[in-house]
Amino acid sequence: MDKRTGILFLSVLATAAAADSPVTFHKDVLPILQKNCQSCHRPGQIAPMSFLTYESTRPWAKAMKTAVATKKMPPWFADPQFGHFSNDRALKSNEIETIAKWADAGAPEGNAKDAPPQVKWPADGWDIQPDLVVKGPETLVPAKPKNNVIEWSFITVPSGITKDTWITSMEIRPSEPSVTHHICVYFKPHTDDVKYNTPVWADRPRDDQGNALPEAAGINGKGIPPSITAGSNGIEGCYVPGQRSQDYRIYKAAKLFKAGTDIVFQVHYTPNGKDTTDRPQIGFTVAKEQPQRTYVSIGFSSPSDAKSFAIPPNDGNWESPPAEATFLQDAELVWMSPHMHVRGKDMTYKLLYPDGRTETLLNVPRYDFNWQLGYEVATPIKVPKGTKLTVTAHFDNSANNKFNPDPNRTVYYGDMTWEEMMFPFFSVVVDKDVNPRTVIRVVRGRAGGGA
Nearest CA to 140 out of 264, 279, 240, 281 is that of: 279
Nearest CA to 337 out of 369, 308, 359, 312 is that of: 369
- The crossing angle, in degrees rounded to 10, of helices 93-104 and 61-69 is 150
Cβ-based nearer residue to ligand HEC, 47 or 447:
47
Q: How many helical (H) and strand (E) elements, i.e. helices and strands, does the chain have?
A: 5, 24
**Binding of ligand HEC at residue 47 (CB under 6 A)?**
yes
| Helix/strand/coil for 282 | strand
Give the Å distances, CA to CA, from 64 to 68, 266, 312: 6, 36, 39
Cα-Cα-Cα-Cα torsion 84, 85, 88, 90, nearest 10 degrees, comes to: -20
Q: Which stretch binds ligand HEC (CB under 6 A): 31-39, 227-235, 400-408, 415-423?
A: 31-39
**Binding of ligand HEC at residue 273 (CB under 6 A)?**
no
Kindly tell me which residue out of 58, 89, 101, 437 binds ligand HEC, with binding defined by CB under 6 A. Answer: 89
Cβ-based nearer residue to ligand HEC, 47 or 306:
47
Kindly tell me which residue out of 40, 134, 333, 429 binds ligand HEC, with binding defined by CB under 6 A. Answer: 40
Kindly tell me which residue out of 214, 242, 260, 407 binds ligand HEC, with binding defined by CB under 6 A. Answer: 242
Q: How far is the CB of 217 from ligand HEC (least distance, A)?
A: 31
The Cα–Cα gap between 436 and 414 comes to: 27
Q: Give the largest CA-CA distance in the chain.
A: 89
The Cα–Cα gap between 3 and 296 comes to: 59
Q: How far is the CB of 240 from ligand HEC (least distance, A)?
A: 11
Q: Which stretch binds ligand HEC (CB under 6 A): 39-47, 200-208, 217-225, 257-265?
A: 39-47
**Binding of ligand HEC at residue 41 (CB under 6 A)?**
yes
Q: How far is the CB of 121 from ligand HEC (least distance, A)?
A: 13
**Number of residues counted as binding ligand HEC (CB under 6 A):** 19
Cβ-based nearer residue to ligand HEC, 98 or 392:
98
The Cα–Cα gap between 279 and 43 comes to: 19
Q: How far is the CB of 57 from ligand HEC (least distance, A)?
A: 9
Q: How far is the CB of 100 from ligand HEC (least distance, A)?
A: 11
Q: How far is CA 419 from the centre of its chain?
A: 20
The Cα–Cα gap between 214 and 195 comes to: 32
Cβ-based nearer residue to ligand HEC, 75 or 108:
75
DSSP element (H, E) containing 33: helix 30-36
Q: How far is the CB of 48 from ligand HEC (least distance, A)?
A: 5
**Binding of ligand HEC at residue 48 (CB under 6 A)?**
yes
Q: Which of residues 50-79 bind ligand HEC (CB under 6 A)?
A: 60, 63-64, 67-68, 73-75
Cβ-based nearer residue to ligand HEC, 40 or 323:
40
- Cβ–Cβ < 8 Å for 327, 235: no
Q: How far is the CB of 362 from ligand HEC (least distance, A)?
A: 17
**Binding of ligand HEC at residue 46 (CB under 6 A)?**
yes
Cβ-based nearer residue to ligand HEC, 91 or 282:
91
The Cα–Cα gap between 165 and 92 comes to: 41
Cβ-based nearer residue to ligand HEC, 68 or 429:
68
Q: Which stretch binds ligand HEC (CB under 6 A): 43-51, 111-119, 212-220, 361-369?
A: 43-51
DSSP element (H, E) containing 54: helix 54-57
DSSP element (H, E) containing 13: helix 3-20
Cβ-based nearer residue to ligand HEC, 46 or 399:
46
- Cβ–Cβ < 8 Å for 122, 128: yes
Amino acid at 317: N
Q: Which residues bind ligand HEC (CB under 6 A)?
A: 36-37, 39-41, 46-48, 60, 63-64, 67-68, 73-75, 89, 91, 242
